[in-house]
Amino acid sequence: MEADYVIVGAGSAGCAMAYRLGEAGHSVVVIEYGGTDAGPFIQMPAALSYPMNMSRYDWGYRTEPEPHLGNRRLATPRGKVIGGSSSINGMVYVRGHARDFDHWAEMGADGWSYADVLPYFRRMEHWHPGPHGGDDAWRGNDGPLHVSRGPRRNPLFHAFVEAGAQAGYPITLDYNGEQQEGFGPMEQTVWRGRRWSAANAYLRPAQKRFAVTVMRGLATRVVFDSEGEGGGSDAAKCRATGVEIRRGRRTEVVRARREVILTASSINSPKLLMLSGIGPAEELRALGIDPLADRPGVGRNLQDHLEVYIQMASSKPITLYRHWNLVSKALIGAQWLASRTGLGASNQFESAAFIRSKAGVEYPDIQYHFLPIAVRYDGKAAAEGHGFQAHTGPMRSPSRGAVTLRSSDPAEPPRIAFNYMSHPQDWEDFRTCIRLTREIFAQPAFAPYIKHEIQPGAALQSDEELDDFIREHAESAYHPCGTCRMGRADDPEAVVDPEGRVIGVSGLRVADSSVFPRIPNGNLNAPSIMVGEKIADHVLGRAPLAAENARPWINPAWQTSQR
């Protein structure tokens, strides 16, 4: 096989990249190890807990024992399927805060400020605000990615927003528009009752309209040819010309006439770079890999969002627990299969909030997902019958981890160590999250619904007791990023330049969440797709979309007030 561009990974950014390159008239081969995304477990929004726990769709990665979380090994799901993690995620749509992208630019990602990326968010979106409205001027209305809102029929969704207002927080009609801070409706990548993954939005249309082909296989390394004299010893003269893949017992090379682009996730993109000789030179030599480009930042700067579930027992039988039985699940599934309507047509995350933890914090650093059932994210153990919960955690942890190779065998999973909760600020921030959440649940709006606190439990009040709870119960929100950090070419820790080009070689780019300099607020699917959209323009040599000078809302009292 040969094409103008070879993309590794049919995930969020890879699908967007394939569409834009194909649209420009180029031939594209997308290499994907996983199989089809057909079937109700992926396409039905309410079934979201199934695909992320099925080995058919998930790489099944787990962290190393995390020393600050009681040596627990946490799940790190990554999509192993057409659509990548956009086919197994919770479908929550969050762009991130404007200041997140301004910070990227300050860290050396020139051209990635909010003014620069807003046009790409708008280009990719087809926004359906529903009856609650929002900020039309800030949103897109003709892009491939449909973004909608759940029906919010359960009174608990409204109680959560009302409680936020009673506690003194602002209301926002659109956290993806001018004002992220506040309580309001949550958005989801669902369209006409179906998961609107990157595969549905971008890849399938690209395959139908353009010269875009999907090829199944395990990418094992990037293949380089030397340019001119100097041979392989001169990394700067080495150009990526293809990707070696395993298909069954055969090994083949898929050739790229123009460029190779890695969009394999923040776990697999650095793994593939290191297997190809790009990474910390001494570590590669120790594994018998000949270093091609000594880039110590490859695999480093690993970040994530941790969260805990604050669960309340409900005094009224109005939660989704009434459907937590085989008969009700079968009826919901049958209705969805017949008409794409009913409870199966939403991810059930329909109210949200972003707040600041204390005065002096300029923009939100705490996120809430509200869910009208008390249940784990992986779908296990509905707690104590009727209940509801808020997922909460800090947005900007100072802790950093790393993805490293166990060996030079491409079939072996990498070593993943997030180093969660390794900074004292993490513990302070998490205790603040719990106490602020308890205050919200104590507002009059929840008085008709709350029986008692399930988790952590009202008896746990001291710093030490809350720390023990966090150590035992904190879970990943499944937002890994940062392992091929974008920065200026002279930054020794940067892996790619602001156009996604891998520093030290030619013909090779990375375009997924691994290039994030720092984790943005909220869920990562939207900014990952945006990266694919924007770097596609860089690949094509186009001038970036014109910057927009929209001024996002910042709480005018942020220096002196927490809310």
Q: Active-site residue numbers?
A: 479
| 14 annotated as ligand-binding | no
Give the CA distances from residue 181 to residues 363, 504, 507, in Å, rounded to whole numbers and listed in that order: 7, 41, 41
- Across 194-326, where does the E strand assignment appear? 194-195, 212-216, 218-226, 238-247, 250-262, 278-279, 293-294, 306-314
DSSP string, 90-155: --B-----HHHHHHHHHTT-TT-SHHHHHHHHHHHEEE--GGG---GGGS-BSSSEEEEE----SH
User: Could you give the CA distance from residue 392 to residue 366 in angstroms, rounded to a whole number?
Assistant: 7
Count of CB atoms within 10 A of residue 485's CB? 26
Report CA dihedral (259, 287, 69, 72) to the nearest 10 degrees: 100
Q: Within a 13 Å sphere around the CA of 515, how many CA atoms are in the beta-carbon half?
A: 34
Count of CB atoms within 10 A of residue 316's CB? 12
Q: Which pair of tokens denotes residue 436? A: 């602020």
User: Could you give the CA distance from residue 519 to residue 525 in angstroms, rounded to a whole number?
Assistant: 12
- Cβ(321)–Cβ(387) under 8 Å? yes
CB burial string 269-305: b at 16+ within 10 A, e below: bbbbbbbbbbbbbebbeeeebebbbbbebbbbbbbbb
Phi, psi dihedrals of residue 45, rounded to the nearest 5°: -55, -40
Q: Is 456 left (phi over 0), alpha (psi -120 to 50) or beta?
A: alpha
Closest to 436 in 3D by CA, of 383, 488, 384, 392: 392
**Pairing mode, strands 194-195 and 190-191:** antiparallel
Q: Which pair of tokens denotes residue 33? A: 């190890």
DSSP reduced 3-state for 218:
strand
Question: Residue 323 carries which DSSP code?
Answer: G
| 91 annotated as ligand-binding | yes
DSSP reduced 3-state for 313:
strand
| 92 annotated as ligand-binding | yes
Annotated binding site for FAD: 81, 89-92
